[in-house]
Amino acid sequence: PLLKLADGVINTVQDLRILIKKDHIKDLIFEESDKPDLEAIDFLEKSQAGGFSIRSHEDFDWITSYPWVLQTHEMDDRYFFSSVSPRFRNICVKIRNAQNDMRGFIWLVQNGEKMSIPYVTLGKEAEPAASRIINYYMQTGRISYMTTYQSTLIEFFKPGPMLGTRNMIQNYFCTRDLIKQLPDLKSVQFQDGDGDVVFV
């Protein structure tokens, strides 16, 4: 009972901190959907020209149509490799300026009480809004923790309303033959959703 009370107090304080931090985002329009459309994928592709893996519209459609995580409370014994979660959803947010030009795209995945950000690309206009948008979905989705390896987002959240942060490293493994075909790895842009990670 004492731990539950302490947890409730901490959650209330954190919700208030996020609400206070959330400013009005001027001159930007947001569109939410459950999967990236052609415009979002085209925007992502153009801004990720130096990216590790550029996926097509068909790839993204397949990823969102056949998730590895199912939203349900009960595990189905017929499927050994499926995972279940009481809450699982994709949230794709397009950011537009007042002239209706697309300036940013953020793909959030809510899995239970955690959130990940498989894909994000932001123009200069949209950068200040990114952490506020993510904070909004963390609050409304009752998210306990969020993971991102995107250096741009990490910088945005440093002065943010998080109770705590932890540095983590994501390693990438590559065959010798593939590494010879890649350019200088310092110039390659990795997204958190590259590889199989996008499914979970």
pLDDT tens digits, residue range 87-99? Answer: 889 999 999 998 9
**Percentage above 70 pLDDT, the chain:** 73
pLDDT score for 148: 84
pLDDT score for 23: 47
pLDDT tens digits, residue range 21-53? Answer: 444 567 788 999 999 999 998 998 887 765 566
Residue 101 tokens, joined: 């030009």
Name the E strands within the chain.
28-33, 69-71, 83-85, 88-97, 102-111, 114-122, 145-147
The C-alpha atoms of residue 40 and residue 51 are separated, in whole angstroms, by: 16
Element (H or E) spanning 148, and its range?
none
Tokens 């440093």 sit on residue: 158
Closest alpha carbon to 121 in 141, 162, 158, 92: 92
Q: What's the CA dihedral at 32, 36, 40, 41 to 10 degrees?
A: 170
Beta-bridge partner residues of 116: 109, 147
Computed over every residue of the chain, the mean pLDDT equals 78
Residue 50 tokens, joined: 């130096």
Give residue limits of the domains in the chain: 2-199
User: If one looks up domain 2-199 in CATH, what number appears?
Assistant: 3.40.630.30
